[in-house]
Structures are given as C-alpha cells and as structure tokens.
Amino acid sequence: MTGAVEQRIDKWLFFARIVKSRSLAQKLVLASGVRVNREKIDNAAKLVRPGDVLTITLGRSVKVLKILDPGQRRGPAPEAQVLYEDLTPPAPKPEEKAAAAVEAGYTPSEHPPNKRERRALDRLRWDGES
C-alpha cells in the first residue's frame, strides 16, 4: 500500500476512474449511488480503506468493487485498475435472456403491431386499470 491507509470516497472514485471528476463523485455519493459495506452513505468525506466493498449505481448498471489500495493520483487506466477488484457478477447473455423470456410464457411477435392492434392493446390496458 502506498501513502495513507484511509481516503475520502470521492477522491478514491476519482483516482480509480469510476467517475470523471471529484465533483461528479460528490454528486454520486449525495444521490445515494454508493454503498460502503452495504451501508448507504450520504457524505462525500466518508473515509474508505482497503478491504471495503463498494456498491456503485451508474445509470442502469451496478458495479461491486473491492478496494485494494488507495491511490496517490489519477493516473492512466492500467494504474487505476490496480486500485480495486471487480466483484460484479457477469451480465446474462442475450441468449439466456431470450430463453428466460420464453420460459416465462412470452413469445415475440413475427411483426410489430399495426395501428388497429395498438389501439386494441391500449383499450385493453385502460379497461384493466380502471
């Protein structure tokens, strides 16, 4: 390990190249987009140390990262990847998603619905919600 044992979460996210700037890291933390060891944090000054597990929500994806080392600077990508271990489970392949949808009883249509069919679907949805 280099330098200090503990580091601010916003600084670490910036050094590990998870976000593009420290201000974006602060906004991510304040928006409850980061958990440290399964606990929500709402302070960008939260100190993290090696061994902590971060759960980060970025858009529609979730990353699970284990901190291995606090960084000293925002270096190139290969240097940043040494700071953490990616524990994110692999995303299901498109074939697996399609197989799961077929098992659930969904069969995709051969053609998109035409105007008459769309209106019938809309009537069905609105009648069911009323």
Q: What is the CATH number of the domain that holds 52?
A: 3.10.290.10
The predicted model scores a pTM of 0.70
Q: Is residue 51 part of a domain?
A: yes
Q: Is residue 20 part of a domain?
A: yes
Read off the pLDDT of residues 55-78 as tens digits, 9 standing for 90 and up: 999 888 999 999 999 999 999 999
User: Which residues in the chain show pLDDT less than 70?
Assistant: 1-4, 106, 108, 127-130
Establish if 91 belongs to a structural domain: yes
For the purposes of burial, counting CB atoms within 10 Å of the CB of 18, is it exposed (0-12), middle (13-18) or buried (19 or more)? buried
Neighbours of 108 (CB within 10 A): 7
Question: How many domains does one find in the chain?
Answer: 1
Task: Look at residue 88 and tell me if it is in a domain.
Answer: yes
Provide the domain limits for residue 27. Answer: 7-129
Report if residue 2 sits inside a domain.
Answer: no
Question: Does residue 1 sit within a domain?
Answer: no
Helix (H) or strand (E) holding 80: helix 77-81
